[in-house]
């Protein structure tokens, strides 16, 4: 029968984050969000609700946006994880989405921003021709308490349009 990880022991877990293998030790109950923040020091992934509703914790798992608060680190082994830290180039050049959020005032306090950036990155990479209606629907996945959303929609739309031009 398959091996069981006991509840109170940290087990070795390898997470592939932004192209780099991170070797950590985590109890089975460690969420991916906490593993990224606490064990990998990648605090760009934010935690709002911790029950799947706000989307602040959104990361890409094999290219698809997912809630990292609803996933245990042990489950994410073997998958390609991408976080907001992986968006900009090494020399600090911003990703087009980051640039667009800045230009279109797609953020105010910034708490929701990493989640919206990863959601948008996943959506545009997998569905580059997404229509306006579908894009609004996709962006309704996450919550923002500041902007009123319109500027976020405009930012993401501008990146879609620039890529298609």
Partner 1 sequence: MKPARFAYVAPDSIEDVLDALDRFGDEAKVLSGGQSLVPMMNFRLARPEVIVDIGRVGGLDGMSVVNGSLTVGARVIHARLEAPTGAMPDGRTEPLGGVLGSLLPEVARFVGHLPIRARGTFGGSIAHADPAAEWCILARTLDAEMVALRRGGERVIAAADFFETVFTTALEPEELLAAVHLPILGDDWRAGFCEFSRRAGDFAVVAAMTAVRLDPATGAISEARIGVGGVAGVPVRLPAAEATLVGEVPGAEVHAAAAEVAAGEVDPAGDLHGSAAYRRDLVRAMVARALAQGAGAPG
Ligand X SMILES: Cc1cc2nc3c(=O)[nH]c(=O)nc-3n(C[C@H](O)[C@H](O)[C@H](O)COP(=O)(O)OP(=O)(O)OC[C@H]3O[C@@H](n4cnc5c(N)ncnc54)[C@H](O)[C@@H]3O)c2cc1C
Torsion over CA: 135, 65, 80, 1 (sign): negative
Report, in Å, the least distance between residue 134 CB and partner 1: 9
72 interacts with, out of ligand FES, ligand X, partner 1, none, CB within 5 to 8 A per kind: partner 1
Per-residue binding letters, 14-53, with ligand X (x by CB under 6 A): --------------------------------------xx
70 vs 31, 33, 59, 138, 162, CA distance in Å? 7, 8, 11, 19, 33
93 interacts with, out of ligand FES, partner 1, ligand X, none, CB within 5 to 8 A per kind: none
- Residue 34 to residue 143: CA distance in whole angstroms: 20
Are 59 and 45 a contacting pair, CB within 8 Å? yes
- Residue 1 to residue 8: CA distance in whole angstroms: 21
3-state secondary structure of 108: coil
Query: Is residue 75 involved in binding partner 1 (CB under 8 A)?
Result: yes
Are 56 and 46 a contacting pair, CB within 8 Å? yes
Report, in Å, the least distance between residue 53 CB and ligand X: 5
Report, in Å, the least distance between residue 28 CB and ligand X: 15
Nearer of residues 11 and 44 to ligand FES, judged by Cβ: 44
Query: Which residues form the interface with ligand FES (CB under 6 A)?
Result: 47-50, 52-57, 67, 69, 107-112, 144-147
Query: Which residues form the interface with ligand X (CB under 6 A)?
Result: 52-53
């Amino acid at each position: 029968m398959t091996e069981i990880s006991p509840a109170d022991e940290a087990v070795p877990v390898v997470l592939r984050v932004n192209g780099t293998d991170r070797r950590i030790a985590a109890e089975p109950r460690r969420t991916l969000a906490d593993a990224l923040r606490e064990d990998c020091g990648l605090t760009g992934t934010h935690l709002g609700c911790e029950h799947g509703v706000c989307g602040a914790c959104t990361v890409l798992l094999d290219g698809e946006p997912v809630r990292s608060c609803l996933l245990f680190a042990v489950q994410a082994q073997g998958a390609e994880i991408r976080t907001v830290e992986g968006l900009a180039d090494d020399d600090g050049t911003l990703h087009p989405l980051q640039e667009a959020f800045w230009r279109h005032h797609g953020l105010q306090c910034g708490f929701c921003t990493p989640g919206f950036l990863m959601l948008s990155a996943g959506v545009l990479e997998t569905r580059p021709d997404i229509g306006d209606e579908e894009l609004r629907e996709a962006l309704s996945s996450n919550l923002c308490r500041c902007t009123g959303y319109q500027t976020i929609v405009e930012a993401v739309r501008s990146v879609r349009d620039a890529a298609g031009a």
